[in-house]
Chains A and B, each alone.
Chain A
Amino acid sequence: MPEILTAPLTVSFPFTRSLGPVQSAFLTGLRERTVLGVRTRDGRILVPPVEYDPVTAEEIRDLAEVAPTGTVTTWAWNPAPRPGQPLRTPFAWVLVRLDGADTALLHVLDAPGPHAVRTGMRVRIRWAPERTGAITDIGCFEPYDPHEDDGGDGGDGGDGPRTPAPHHGTFDDPVTGIVAPARLDYTYTPGRAQSRHLAALAGRRITGERCPSCSKVHVPPRGACPTCGVAATEQVEVGPRGTVTTFCIVNIKAKGAGIEVPYVYAHIALDGADLALHGRIGGIPYDEVRMGLRVEPVWTADGRHPDHYRPTGEPDAAYDTYKELL
């Protein structure tokens, strides 16, 4: 049993998303340190605001400004921040109902420890120093004691109203979209069948696996026969020579590929295999490649797969010998 192969697999996307009018007003508002909610048909103020009424599904557009202060409705202490989370030091996740809002917003609270957090505590927004029109423009929440507040603004701790005030929702240079980068790091495991195949390739042998039910040899092996739905475990060495069953001429250079066009990409039935694999044909002018051409793999010094296949010089294979493999 060869070693089980694994490989790092990173999936990384900058998701680009457009915003509806309510989302745009809300996120642009955050950039301007203004928190907007949306009024539902039954008179509730939703923060964060949505485009459609969650009860009636109708479009809702009436915006209202709420306060940057609020009350924690539930919390959870995270002792070990994970990548991408807003704070690098231990923090509390919080749902905060901002003053004037009827629903709670999910964010984080910067606090010295779980002893300093409780449901019902008063908090206020700490704005991110650089704001772009994103939920992370709220850097985090922080504990807020109105009696210690030195703002002299009547104790509401900020520049927003305590009762929701209608708001036009229009700003200069509104945000119309967000780019949300996402990266996840996986470990890919190709499985036992593929691991055996790749281990053999490292020794420049091409192997397939025979189905115990229909006897077909699949190359590369997939762990199961797709026709019979049973595990295929008998290893069979195939090739190295094979027959071109069909091909195409590639005329457009792939980005970053070092191969000159035109070149031929072909399906190749290796001797002993019941499934054609594909590879590039070299060592022959592109316009001389033909069905039935006999070829063999060409390995390069550090390649884990054949670099390409070249003619063997044998007479072409008769159509009947490979017609089932087309």
Chain B
Amino acid sequence: MKPGGAGGARRTAPRDVAIVAFARSDHRGAAEGLSETEMLLPVLHAALEQAGLAPGEADFTCSGSSDYLAGRPFSFTQTLDGVGAWPPVAESHVEADGAWALFEAWVKILTGRADTALVYAHGKPSAGPLRDVLTRQLDPYYVAPLWPDSVSLAALQAQALIDAGHTDEEALAVLARRGGDDAPAGEYVVRPLRAGDCPAVTDGAAAVVLAAADTARRMCARPAWIRGIDHRIEAQALGLRDLTDSPSTRLAAERAGAFRAPVDTAELHAPFTSQEVVLRRALRLDDTVAVNPSGGAHAADPVMATGLIRLGEAAARIHRGASDRALAHATSGPCLQHNLVAVLEGETEGETKGEAR
């Protein structure tokens, strides 16, 4: 580990940090016969190769996953085989979506503890009954004993939105079809949500590489600079919340600087169509913004990697020159309880390093 920057506790200007590489898996449904490590390896290698890093070379490694998806304690330790973890590397893990691992790595680089970081996430929801597994994250005293599954809770939120006049079943069906397929909205899974309103849950993995300042410029022709990230959480009790709104998303967006200038792209972690309605309102996104050009969490939901993929997809759009300023959002918990918002920017022509902030 590098020393904690000159001057110890002295405050210095924060460093510029960028997403310089991104890769994701392309599974549809179960990753047949693959262990987590085997599923992750090609993704790790693709991201590292983009950044020109060898396995084990990043200053910091941080991952996100959930033992409850795998059904095994400390399941993430197995995947460390894939990162070249011997001799020992500086490493950390969050029992959450990989977007929160990215947040930790970002802070690590901001504080001068690292110049580069590998962030990855993986999930194999095919291993267990996901709708039931997710009930275990709920209040264990008053809620979890009722086993309210994830679709049912999202459906309560959707009905609240319909009652408030923010959407209706037809409008949700339009969102459900946006993935390009003409699949009918399908039967009710839990009314008012139909099969088409629910995410295409899949096994999967994703990886990004973060780098500071000049290192980022060396690794990537057009780095996606992180202008801000913030995450906020709402009360645990569903009955205490206004399910038709997402004040935590709005606050995180404010703190991340999202409202200082318009964005051209937004990648939203909205597994259910109804949740996109909530997020669009909370983030004040209008028709000028390309929302979920990747297809979004609804088109492919590799649980625990889905949020990190939103950050990666937004960054990749900047890398390609298709976006100059993008918002990426990740969520965790029932009915959009916990929300993270990041603002990413590409440098426009003529802009120099000094002007980048």
Q: Do A and B bind each other?
A: yes
Q: Mark B125-168, 1 if CB is under 8 A from A, else 0.
A: 01111011101100011111111110011011111100100000
Number of residues on chain B facing chain A (CB within 8 A): 65
If A105-B142, A106-B156, A178-B145 are given as contacts, then 10 extra A-B residue pairs at C-beta distance below 8 Å, sorted by A number, are: A74-B157, A76-B159, A84-B135, A85-B148, A108-B146, A135-B145, A191-B35, A224-B41, A229-B55, A230-B84
**Are B85's CB and A229's CB within 8 A?**
yes
Query: In whole Å, how far is A193's beta carbon from the nearest beta carbon of chain B?
Result: 7
A303 within 8 A of B: no
Stretch from B13-21, B184-192, B305-313 forming part of the interface with A: B184-192
Whether B156 lies near A95 (C-beta < 8 A) is: yes
Residue of A nearest to B56 (CB): A229
Q: Are B127 and A186 within 8 A (Cβ)? A: yes
> Bound complex: CA of A27 vs CA of B133, how far in Å?
25
Complex partner residue of B240 from A46, A75, A190, CB under 8 angstroms: A46
| Surface stretch bound by B, among A15-23, A145-153, A160-168, A245-253 | A15-23
B293 CB within 8 Å of chain A = no
Which residues does chain B contribute within 8 Å of A136, judged by CB atoms? Answer: 145-146
Interface residues on A, range: 35 or more
Cβ contacts B325-344/A at 8 Å (1 or 0 each)? 00000000000000000000
User: Which one of B55, B152, B156 contacts A230 once the chains associate, using CB atoms below 8 Å?
Assistant: B55
Within 8 Å of chain B (Cβ to Cβ): is A50?
yes
Q: Closest approach, in angstroms, between the C-beta of A194 and any C-beta of chain B?
A: 7
Asked whether A15 lies within 8 Å of B140 as measured between CB atoms, the reply is yes
Please give, as numbers and ranges, the residues of chain A lying within 8 Å of B81 by CB-CB distance: 222-226, 229
**In the assembled complex, which residues on chain B have CB atoms less than 8 Å from the CB atom of A187?**
126-128
B152–A76 CB distance below 8 A: yes
In the assembled complex, which residues on chain B have CB atoms less than 8 Å from the CB atom of A77?
155, 188, 190-191
Contacts of A78 in B (CB 8 A): 152, 190
Quick check: which of B2-10, B231-239, B246-254, B347-355 contacts chain A, the rest being far away? B231-239
Pairwise interchain contact A223-B38, C-beta atoms closer than 8 A = yes
A283 within 8 Å of B by Cβ? no
Known: A76-B156, A77-B188, A83-B132. A229 touches B35 (CB 8 A): no
Quick check: B128 and A185 within 8 Å, CB to CB? yes
In the complex, residue of chain B having the shortest beta-carbon distance to the beta carbon of A27: B141
B155's nearest neighbour on chain A, judged by CB, is: A76
Residues of B within 8 Å of A105, CB to CB, are 142, 239
Q: Closest residue of chain A to B80, judged by CB?
A: A226
Cβ contact within 8 Å between A4 and B152? no
Contact with B along A263-292 (1 / 0, CB 8 A): 000000000000000000000000000000
Cβ–Cβ < 8 Å partners of B192 in chain A: 76
Please judge, given known A-B contacts A84-B147, A222-B78, whether A74 and B136 are in contact too, CB under 8 Å: no
Interface residues of A (CB under 8 A from B): 4, 9, 11, 15, 17, 19, 23, 27, 46-48, 50, 54, 73-79, 82-86, 93, 95, 97, 103-108, 114, 119, 134-136, 178, 180, 182, 184-195, 222-231
Our pick among B128, B136, B158, B243 for the contact of A182 (Cβ within 8 Å) is B136
When distances are taken between beta carbons in the complex, the residues of chain B under 8 Å from A228 are: 55, 84
The chain B residue with its CB closest to the CB of A194 is B35
The CA-CA distance from A193 to B83 in the complex, in Å, is: 17
Q: Who on chain A is nearest to B141 by CB?
A: A23
Knowing A184-B129, A188-B127, A223-B37, the reply to whether A93 touches B239 (Cβ < 8 A) is: no
Cβ of A103 and Cβ of B132 under 8 Å apart?
A: no
Instruction: Chain A residues near B68: list those with CB within 8 A.
Output: 184
- B33 cross-chain contacts in A, Cβ below 8 A: 4, 189, 191-192, 195
Give every chain A residue within 8 A of B191 (Cβ-Cβ): 76-77, 79, 114
Residue pair B129, A185 in contact (C-beta under 8 Å): yes
**Do A106 and B190 touch (CB < 8 A)?**
no
B-chain residues with CB within 8 Å of residue A23 when the two chains form the complex:
141
Contact assessment for B38 and A193 in the assembled complex, using a CB-CB cutoff below 8 Å: yes
Within 8 A of A (CB), among B193-223: 193
Most B CB atoms within 10 A — which of A23, A95, A136, A193? A95
Given contacts A9-B71, A114-B191, contact A4 B41 (CB under 8 A): no
Nearest residue, chain B, Cβ from A187: B127
The CA of A124 and the CA of B134, in the complex, are separated in Å by: 28
Contact check, A192 vs B34: say whether CB atoms are below 8 A apart: yes
Question: A135 — which chain B residues lie within 8 A by C-beta?
Answer: 141-143, 145-146
* A-B CB proximity, top 6 nearest: A191-B35, A229-B55, A229-B84, A4-B33, A76-B155, A104-B239
Instruction: Check B82 against A229 for contact (C-beta < 8 Å).
Output: yes
Distance in angstroms from B132 CB to nearest chain A CB is 6
